[in-house]
Structure 1
């Protein structure tokens, strides 16, 4: 199966695309992870949204954030793969595409993320290196990680 990929600024998103993004983020980060937090944090307005689609289903998604918003460096966040599409390698493809998009969009070589600790190995496989100690974010253990090309 091959996904159709699109990367759009917030104002370029259709209403349906935005709805699907918010629906998937809620399904994964609020319901599946049983975590109450402020997903709508104003960063979406100034971000790019990378989406992988299987017909009308949002399968993979990340939010790409320019330097100076979340961190001094550019950032990738809200990384998700639809629960019915996991184990097909879309997460790796999503991160590869996200890293490349960040480099092109923001003309940077360094990307900082806040990774859930249980995914540290996955991000290391994508070229990220853990920075500092683990910390709690919304009661979930996280660690900052840095990618430099």
Structure 2
């Protein structure tokens, strides 16, 4: 693992969040993906209820987050990956992805893991065992590439 600040891991379904916790989580996602990245798109896409929500918490605050879900008849996916602006210099991105991969392996055993990576992060995801499965395409004004990590990759 990486040399990061101490954090706790919280993985749960949307129904297990209090209204205040859920509001804070969704606000963080909108702040990063819609406001900071200047992307007008449907952040609340109807997939949250069936997903697992993985948070790295520092002093009770969401420092990093990823959404894990399995679309019908497809590989489990890691999405909505973010590190909170106030925690970005703490090397949490790699820790978050290691935790997300571990959670996917525990909840969706024996299956590959897919994600849609922003193009500038392809090298980062390759370092975690993901390989491209598509060419680059533009989604919501940002270059992306589909990637997948084989089942059982260590």
Gaps of 5+ in 2: none
The TM-score normalised by the length of structure 1 is: 0.93
- Say which structure is richer in strand: 1
Q: Which residue pairs with 1:129 in the alignment?
A: 131
- Note the 1:14-33 alignment, pairs <5 A: 14-33=18-37
For 1:93-132, what per-residue CA distance to the aligned partner results, in whole angstroms no more than 9, with x for missing partners?
1000000101111223301101100111111111111122
2:104 match: secondary structure:
helix
Question: How many equivalent pairs are there?
Answer: 147
1:20 match: secondary structure:
helix
Q: Which residue pairs with 1:64 in the alignment?
A: 68
Where in structure 1 do 4 or more consecutive aligned residues deviate above 2 Å? none
Q: Which residue pairs with 1:96 in the alignment?
A: 98
1:122 match: secondary structure:
helix
- Note the 1:130-145 alignment, pairs <5 A: 130-145=132-147
**Cα distance in 2 between the residues matched to 1:97 and 1:47:** 15
Q: Which residue pairs with 2:121 in the alignment?
A: 119
**Cα distance in 2 between the residues matched to 1:17 and 1:52:** 14
Gaps of 5+ in 1: none
For 1:6-58, what per-residue CA distance to the aligned partner results, in whole angstroms no more than 9, with x for missing partners?
00011111222211211110111011100000011110010000011112321
User: Any conservation in 2 of the 1:60–1:90 contact (CA below 8 Å)?
Assistant: yes
Q: Note the C-alpha offset of 1:67.
A: 4.2
